[in-house]
Structure 1
């Protein structure tokens, strides 16, 4: 019985420690200048997800600020059948200094449903706006983005290390093909 109690206490401690690590909120950069962030970004790596499973290479995203404060989003990638393109819109989360966005690819008439908006949190961004790491607070989604189709090994490792420090399972990250 004593060993059973010890095992239970050990299990509870492990659960508490694991829960505390995952309960820590993902941190974003202090602020983002959306005009500088606008333009084309190439996907360098990601945690695989269901909505990009057809993408084989050349994955990119274009962001264009609109006069109404929203951002037009166009994602593209090469598939076995040619090029796939998804158009959406992003909105800034109030009080985030533009570092937290919500993105919707569903039709506009569904925008009132919270589930159609996906979190897009800018966790890391270099001062030149050439390299970014974007994730979600659930840690289910992660992208490493660059203004160029490739980055150095050092830049890649730094981005992975920063994501690991934020509690992302970077063993799941796969490099994207240019």
Structure 2
């Protein structure tokens, strides 16, 4: 009886692990990753222009992401922002890996050891100045720019893309950079 319970427990743990691993690579149904992605052009500083808020960025302004290359070919990201409630800057360093080949903008990031969450680059201009990124659900979305602002025509294009994919863009937080 103990062996059956142990086997069932192991099978349950394996099932939960596989389910969680699948979640970290998942994206909403209609979301498609960009192709012909050049990770070297993507490196450097990005300003967060807008986001759908979530717990790790709550009460943050002046949010940025800085991408650099690790020796193993993965990327390092340092997300930084100013918590206007606590009146201090906070930062988190993560490791970004590609899901599949590095020419596709489908990624996963870990800020907590072996636990990864998927995100996908769904729009990126040819000069790598503006990016639209989706998380693993319709509750995660980011507009990024190399500058503290984004041209209105790019904002409108990204808003339409996000709305067409099912995102509730009325809930976007437009980040202040001061």
TM-score by length of 2: 0.78
Q: 1:54 deviation in Å? A: 3.1
* Partner SS state of residue 120, structure 1: strand
* Contact 1:32 1:97 survives alignment (8 Å): yes
Q: Secondary structure at the match of 2:92?
A: strand
User: How does the TM-score come out when normalised to structure 1?
Assistant: 0.78
SS in 1 for 2:160: helix
Shift of 1:137: 4.0
2:91 and 2:102 map into 1 onto residues whose CA distance is: 28
The Cα shift of 1:157 comes to 1.3
How far off is 1:96 after superposition? Answer: 6.4
Structure 2 unaligned residues grouped into runs of 5+: 1-27
Compared with structure 1, are the counterparts of its residues 154 and 103 closer, same or farther at alpha carbon in structure 2 (3 Å cutoff)? same
Deviations, residues 8-59 of structure 1 (Å, cap 9, x unaligned) = xxxxxxxxxxxxxxx733112113100000000000000111110131x210
Separation (CA, whole Å) in 2 of partners of 1:71 and 1:65: 5
1:102 corresponds in structure 2 to 108
Q: Which residue of 2 aligns with 1:86?
A: 92
Q: Distance in 1 between matches of 2:43 and 2:67?
A: 5
Matched, 1:51 2:56: yes
CA contact (8 A) 1:25 1:137 kept: no
- 1:19-168 aligned at under 5 Å gives the runs 24-55=29-60, 57-80=61-84, 81-95=87-101, 97-107=103-113, 111=114, 116-168=115-167
How well do the aligned residues superpose, as a CA RMSD in angstroms?
A: 1.7
Q: Report the Cα distance in structure 2 between the residues aligned to 1:30 and 1:76, rounded to whole angstroms.
A: 28
Question: Which of structure 1's runs of 4+ aligned residues deviate more than 6 A?
Answer: none
Structure 1 equivalent of residue 4 of structure 2: none
Uncovered stretches (5+) of structure 1, i.e. residues with no partner? 1-22
Cα distance in 1 for partners of 2:102, 2:92 equals: 26
The whole-number CA distance in structure 2 between the counterparts of 1:152 and 1:95 is 31
Whole-Å Cα distance in 1 between the matches of residues 82 and 58 of structure 2? Answer: 11
Shift of residue 156, structure 1, vs aligned partner:
1.1
Within 1, Cα distance between the matches of 2:150 and 2:102?
28
